[in-house]
Amino acid sequence: MHIRRNCVFLAVGALLATGAVAKVSPEEAARLGLEGTELTPFGAIRAGNADGTIPAWEGGIKTPPAGYKEGDWYIDPYADDKILFTITAQNHQQYADKLTPGQIAMFKKYPDTYKMNVYPSRRSASFPQWHYDNSIYNATRAEWCNPSPGPNRETRCLASNTSKPGVFFPIPNDAAEVMWNHTFRFVGKWYTATAYGYNAFPDGSYAEQVKLDRFLMPLWIGPDAGGDPPLTHERFTRLGGGGLCASQEDISPPRSAGTIFSACLYLQDTTFDAYLYVPGQRRVRKAPEIGFYDSPGTGSDGLRTGDSRWTFWLTGQEEWYEYGPLQLKEIYIPYNSYKIAQPGLTFKDIVMKGHNNPDLKRYELHRVWVVEAKLKPGFRHLSPHRFAYIDADSWDGALGDMYDARGDLWRVTESYLMNYYNVPLPYFWGDDHSDLISGRHSALNSFYNVGPKGTAAPPDFTAKGRPDQELYTPAGLRKFGVR
């Protein structure tokens, strides 16, 4: 497979030793384009693969399917596709070169129930035109802060005024840039959604939880991102500008109802700067534990770490990991997951012993950036060695593998990607984090279709779904709190 010559086996440590320059030459950037170029505007290989199992990218889903209306549940554009073949515990060895260690471990752990239905690959990823234009612009301009703001922050600070809202490094030099592209990928300008999650026990039973998600992304709001007036509050403009701001309010279980956090991640400081409203105390406090490296993910009962959201994302001020050589591979990943997003499903339909219902999942062969991360000396993390598998067409996280301190494969993550074509935007609908040792598994509050009939709804990306920006300030968070 063709990969840009200066990407192959280039480790981040070598770059830092010479003073890394993230931008590429105009000649390299000329390979990017919307049509007729070797690479897409996002840096993915445009052409299909040699045996035709991955098609060429032709712009993805350009218009919603016939019959779709804003606010409706998503119609599956590929509902007529048939299963090509099914990978099982009995035949997975013949597909091993296109499976991850985590997937292979799941076949071994659950040989009677875990399977992968493989469908035709559809390169459905598509984005707004301004996002394509800005990504191409960034290729020759985006740079890290020089000098670095501190040790282990060399690739955690983007220099001001060197980029526009888009993919920052569409032709990545190393895995650190892949992680940056993934963390700050486009997830819409904002959205509001009632989101459902679960923590499942080894016998397949589970405890549900409901949260109100309110996301506001300062990075994607402004004249270079479609013309919206930029956010001007200091909460969104400091430290190079806010990359994303998130808030979650607990709806259930009752013991945590009314708890709200809001937090922002910045382009020059990837600490998840969080505040928490606790209704029992009726006050707002700083909450540095939220989203911090291996602190427990919110509502996860310890089954997810803060930095395993979206399979693996940058959080915390410093880089704790050293990244391995840049790799691009063909892997079977969850994609075009409209079946698991259909209305009327409940967690009884989805959750099984050890994993989610494979008959509701669709796998396709796609090119993914493989990020290998090993903990640096002097740092501690529950997972000293881990992998993330990032879809090359969208920069979305598709799969993740985490190893424990003994070097054993421990947790396996998959994310159910699909195109929210009304935006347009590739994003996840739900995910699953499986603990191979305990037999438990957990989902982020991201399933939107399992709520009570008449109240469940897809995320609202319209102006109506835009959160109040005061929610992300300590004073505003207190005002929103339920007493």
| Residue 198 falls inside a structural domain | yes
Per-residue model confidence (pLDDT) at position 282: 82
The contacts of residue 67 (CB under 8 Å, 6+ apart) are 75
Higher pLDDT, 1 or 254: 254
Higher pLDDT, 67 or 483: 67
Can you tell me whether residue 203 is helix, strand or coil? coil
Number of structural domains found in the chain: 1
- Domain at 282, CATH number: 2.50.20.10
CA distance 84 to 65: 23
| Residue 33 falls inside a structural domain | no
Contact 393, 125 (CB under 8 A): yes
- 122 pairs with which residues across the strands? none
**Per-residue pLDDT tens digits for 298-357:** 999 999 999 999 999 999 999 999 999 999 999 999 999 999 999 999 999 999 999 999
CA distance 174 to 327: 9
Query: Average pLDDT of the chain?
Result: 94
Dump the DSSP string for 125-165.
Answer: ----HHHHHHHHHHTTT--B-SS-SSTT-TTS-BPTTS--S
The contacts of residue 109 (CB under 8 Å, 6+ apart) are 354, 436
Residue 482's pLDDT band (cuts 50, 70, 90): low
| Residue 310 falls inside a structural domain | yes
| Residue 429 falls inside a structural domain | yes
- Buried/exposed code over 396-421 (b: 16+ C-beta within 10 A; e: otherwise): bbbbbbbbeeeeebbbbbbbbbbbbb
| Residue 463 falls inside a structural domain | yes
Contact 211, 260 (CB under 8 A): no
**What is the CA angle 144-148-150, rounded to 5?**
140
**Per-residue pLDDT tens digits for 415-472:** 999 999 999 999 999 999 999 999 999 999 999 999 998 899 999 999 999 999 999 9
| Residue 238 falls inside a structural domain | yes
Q: Which candidate, 298, 278, 247, places its Cα nearest to that of 466?
A: 247
% of the chain beyond a pLDDT of 70:
95
Section 20-32 average pLDDT: 90
Per-residue model confidence (pLDDT) at position 346: 97
Per-residue model confidence (pLDDT) at position 6: 38
Cα dihedral value 155, 160, 161, 164, nearest 10? 50
CA distance 235 to 481: 19
The contacts of residue 464 (CB under 8 Å, 6+ apart) are none
89 class by beta-carbon count within 10 Å (0-12 exposed, 13-18 middle, 19+ buried)? middle
What is the DSSP code (8-state) at residue 473?
A: S
| Residue 55 falls inside a structural domain | no
CA distance 137 to 468: 31
Range of the domain at 200: 185-480
Contact 158, 142 (CB under 8 A): yes
| Residue 168 falls inside a structural domain | no
Per-residue model confidence (pLDDT) at position 21: 59
pTM of the predicted model as reported, rounded to 2 decimal places: 0.94
**Given a cut of 90, is residue 479 above it in pLDDT?**
no
Per-residue model confidence (pLDDT) at position 108: 98
CA distance 236 to 472: 9
Section 152-181 average pLDDT: 97
The total number of residues written for the chain in this structure: 483
Q: How far apart are the first and last CA of the chain?
A: 58
CA distance 303 to 199: 8
